[in-house]
Amino acid sequence: MADRSLRGMRLGAQSLQSEEGVVFSERTRSVYLCPECNYETALMFAADAEAPETWECRHCGHEAVLMVGSEPIVIDKSDQKQARTHWDMLLERRSREELEELLEERLSFLRERRGLNKKVGA
């Protein structure tokens, strides 16, 4: 069987495809400047894709800003929503008076249970 072993090319190691007839999509180069460390990051995007306004700096991890020409763009953050906390969502469902009443009920329940547990152990 060793005499008749299969000989061939290394499967998966080499591609049988060529770049003949392949048309690459157009790309644009976008440059981001980090205001913290002045590090420039250049990225390639498809020509029809809109480049994001910010990108994480590869050097220091802060937020780098897209450059248009030699000036960074001005980012308008006025339309961004502020994150709601658990307290904000709770206040949407109940009033402060209801919450204080529920708190008192729960505290009195816990105090009663603690008092009963002390009597049983004594």
pLDDT, tens only, 57-84: 888 889 999 998 888 877 777 777 788 8
Q: Do the beta carbons of residue 21 and residue 35 sit within 8 Å?
A: no
Specify the pLDDT at position 61: 87
Q: Which residue has the tokens 């780098």?
A: 64
Specify the pLDDT at position 118: 54
Q: Which residues of the chain have pLDDT under 70?
A: 1-13, 116-122
Specify the pLDDT at position 64: 92
DSSP state string for 19-72: -TT--PPPEEEEEEE-TTT--EEEEEEETTSPPPSEEE-TTT-SEEEEEETTEE
